[in-house]
Amino acid sequence: MKFPTLAVSVLALALTACGAPDDTRAQDSVFEPPAERAVPRDAAEVKASFAPVVRATAPAVVNISARGVQTYRDPFWGQFRQQPTGSVGSGVIVRADGIVVTNNHVIQGMDEITVGLNDRRQFAAKVLLADERSDIAVLQLQNVEEPLPVLRIDTGEDQQIGDLVLAIGNPFGVGQTVTNGIISALNRTETGISDSGSFIQTDAAINPGNSGGALVDMDGDLIGINTAIFSRSGSSSGVGFAVPATMVQRVVDAALDGETSVVRPWLGVKGEPLTAEEATRMGLDRPRGLKVTDLFANGPAARAGIQAGDVILSVGGNEINDQGGLNFRVGTRAPGDTVAVTLLRDGREQRVNARVQPLPGEINLDAAVVIREGALAGAQVLALNPAIADRLLGDPFAEGVIVGGLTRNSIAARQGFRRGDIIVSISGRPVSSADQLAGLSRGTQVVIERGGQRLNGTMR
């Protein structure tokens, strides 16, 4: 029976209305105007409200809507048709003259981009630079006549697991929304999002439409761009990832310098994480570092004196535990920068300085050629160099000739070749150019790499 509780509530209201004795001072305090609030100075003040941080940061977070035209093949008529397409996401103003950062996947393939501010103003925008690898794009708002609110990019990397953060964006297109959480992890590399990414993980709710929005700390600084979530439903499940501010700043700098792409330097090293047994054998307190398994001849690492078998412990003072972490730390540097590398060799730590450089070779995808005769006729192939291999495969050490396409019902297609296959050797000889693949006869032995596995075959 719920009636007794209800009766007590009614009686209490009646006594209050009749002027029953009460703490009028407590009542009066409820109706007093709120005191002026400022950005919290310590953890105790944060517990009261996030409002001061939101008030300082939200005006610089924008809504992005983009429109384009998608070309597709009609499954019934077999004709190519076009249909309008669009996307909605978020972005962050990082310079008062209208420089905006968002995710590349929000604007990729779009022709018209409109940016809406928190105060309902709208601006057309053009793309200055779109970096698919980091999933960061930089936009320039058009016809900006007065300074806009901005968020400061904090590249100090002094965040800690457990720090409070806010995610600000435009989820589901309902309008600007703020969610709070903590930093769940730092330097997440094994996410499958990017082979050169090192992400901030947060449990602040990130949902569709939040892409490109801000992850801010309690100082009101931008520490990351919200990019991806792990979810089975498509909605937030408390596992979100943000591109760290160091990479965001690298892409912004490239855009402002007039570059059309982000040139990522490399160290010329390939390695694998240490196992627990190897760490114990080497005298380490725990498994950490990247064991060097391969060096590019005359590359930055080789010139710095790094050797196969060395264990790279840190780059620029940042701990390295896997290849993704190394790629990220080196990739945030500008070509020609000198970085300090701490490594373990013969049980002793050593420090060397390496000057990181762009990957060798030109990225000229138009250099692909079609094989016209022989057992590989109809295959479009491209010889790999470190720059092309890194762009297409994420592995600058990959060697051989990659199959970029196949003519339908061609001899190469009937042989069983697939797009993306890497032809490693022919009759036991390494392949490094398309010329080696012309005029191949039946019975020729071929080795290809497909999905990380090497397969042997014979031309029919």
Burial 389-398 (b: 16+ CB within 10 A, else e): bbbbbeebbb
Instruction: List the Cα angle 107/391/403 in 5-degree steps.
Output: 110
Q: Tell me the C-alpha to C-alpha distance, in Å, between residue 432 and each of 389, 425, 426.
A: 12, 9, 10
3-class secondary-structure state, position 24: helix
Neighbours of 8 (CB within 10 A): 10
Can you list the pairs that 43-50 forms with residues at least 24 positions away whose Cβ atoms lie under 8 Å? Answer: 46/164, 46/218, 50/166, 50/178, 50/180
Nearest to 413 by CA among 444, 363, 386, 375: 375
| 237 is a catalytic site residue | no
- Annotated active-site residue in 105, 253, 261, 425: 105
The DSSP symbol for 140 reads E
- Annotated active-site residue in 134, 211, 236, 410: 211
Beta bridge partners of 216: 166, 222
| 441 is a catalytic site residue | no
DSSP string, 236-279: --S-EEEEEHHHHHHHHHHHHTT-SS---EE--EEEEEPPHHHH
- Annotated active-site residue in 135, 154, 217, 421: 135
3-class secondary-structure state, position 55: helix
What distance in Å separates the CA atoms of residue 294 and residue 340, rounded to the nearest whole number?
A: 20
| 119 is a catalytic site residue | no
Catalytic residues: 105, 135, 211
